[in-house]
Amino acid sequence: MKDDIVNKVRLTQFSHGGGCGCKIAPSVLSEILSGLPQAGLFPDLLVGLESSDDAAVYRLNDTQAIIATTDFFMPIVDDAYDFGRIAATNALSDIYAMGGQPILALAVVGMPIDKLPLETIRQIMAGGAAVCQLAGIPIAGGHSIDSPEPIYGLVALGIVHPDKVKRNDRAHAGDVLILGKPLGVGVLSAALKKGQLSDEGYQQMVDVTTQLNITGTTLANMAGVHALTDVTGFALLGHLLEICRGSQLQAQIEFSRIPLIDTALQLAKHGYATGAATRNWGSYGDGVNLGAEITEWQRKLLCDPQTSGGLLVSCAPESVDEVLAAFKADGFHRAAVIGSMQTGDARVTVS
C-alpha cells in the first residue's frame, strides 16, 4: 500500500523547475554577490567567493583543510528515492571537485507537508542516506521546514591537504581539458516533464546523476592536475568560462569530442531543451565564441544545465593518460579529452 501511495505522487508537479536547472543565472548571481565583503581578513580561508569555486576551503593546520559546501534543489524526477539519490550525489560532488574526501553531511529538507505523503518524504531522505552510505559518510543531522515546493539536498563537509586543494582558477596554458561524464541531463529532464522520456532514457539519466565523482579525491594527488571543477547548472560553457576567467586563459574545445548521453543526443536533435539553457546562454556575454558549423541544437547542449554532472579537469599533457586511467578505474568509461587551454582572452571557443 505504501508503495502504491508513493508511486502515485508526481514530485515534479510540485515544483516550477528541477535540479540544477533551478540555479540563478551566472550573470544575475554575480550581480547579487558584487559588493559583499571579501575574505582578505581571513588568511586561513584558502577558497572563498572570489573565484566562483565549488566549495569553501578553510585551513585548520599544516596538513588539514576543511571543505564546506551546500547544494539543494527541487525534484528533477518523480521517483522519491531517485530524487534523494540524485540530490545527495550532486551535493557531494562539490567536495570531490575540490580534491577532497567527504567526512559527513547534514540534510536540508523543505517539504509541503500538507500535500506530500510522509512516506514519499521518507523515501526522498532514504535515497540521500543511501548515497551517503555509499560515500562512506553519515548524515549527522540537518534542518527541515514546511515549504510550498519540495526541496532536498545536503550541507557537505570534507577534508583535504591544504597543498592539494584543486581550484577552478589554476589552469596552465597548454593544459588538456578532460570531461568525466557525458552531457544531456537537462535535455532528458525536459523530455521527462513532457512525458516523452523513454524508460531507457530515464535509466540513463539516473545512472549519470547518481554516479559519485569519487575520482576527484584521486586527482588531488596528481601534481599535473592544475584546475578542477564539476559541470552543473551553468552548463559546460559556463563552468569552463569560470576556469578561463579565473586563469586568464582561453579554452578551445571540439564539439565532436564531447561525450553525450545517447538518448539526450537524439532528443536534442528534435528540439528538446530547458529554459535554463536559454538563460545560461544569455549570461555568457562575449565570453563564448561558437564556430559557424555549430548548430542550434548543439549550442543548446553546450548550455544544457547538468544536475550532478561530471568533473572537468585541466591537466598537463603528460598527465592525460593518468587522469583518464583514474576515471576509467572508477567506472567513468565515457571520460574524454574535449579540448585545451591556450594563451589569449578569457573566453571559450568551440569548433
Each of the 351 residues of the chain gets a pLDDT tens digit; together they read 345 444 566 777 655 555 445 555 555 656 655 566 665 678 999 988 777 778 999 999 999 999 999 999 899 999 999 999 999 999 999 999 999 999 999 999 999 999 999 999 999 999 999 999 999 999 999 999 999 999 999 999 999 999 999 999 999 999 999 999 999 999 999 999 899 999 999 999 999 999 999 999 999 999 999 999 999 999 999 999 999 999 999 999 999 999 999 999 999 999 999 999 999 999 998 999 999 999 999 999 999 999 999 999 999 999 999 999 999 999 999 999 999 999 999 999 999
Q: How far apart are CA 217 and CA 180, in angstroms?
A: 14
Burial of 58 (0-12, 13-18, 19+ CB in 10 A): middle
CATH of domain 2-163: 3.30.1330.10
> Which cell numbers hold the place of 229?
571543477
> Which cell numbers hold the place of 317?
599533457
Q: How far apart are CA 56 and CA 77, in angstroms?
A: 29
CATH class of 167-350: alpha beta
CB hemisphere CA count around 108 (13 angstroms):
15
Supply the residues annotated as catalytic: 20
Task: Give the SS3 label for residue 125.
Answer: helix
Which residues are 311's β-sheet partners? 230
The DSSP bridge pattern shows strands 348-350 and 288-290 to be: parallel
Tell me if the pTM is above 0.75: yes
How many angstroms separate the Cα of 36 from the Cα of each of 30, 39, 44, 246, 298?
11, 10, 19, 18, 36
Which residues are 227's β-sheet partners? 314
Q: Where are the domains of the chain?
A: 2-163, 167-350
Q: How far apart are CA 294 and CA 195, in angstroms?
A: 28
Q: How far apart are CA 316 and CA 81, in angstroms?
A: 40
Q: How far apart are CA 86 and CA 71, in angstroms?
A: 11
Quote the radius of gyration of the chain (alpha carbons, Å): 19
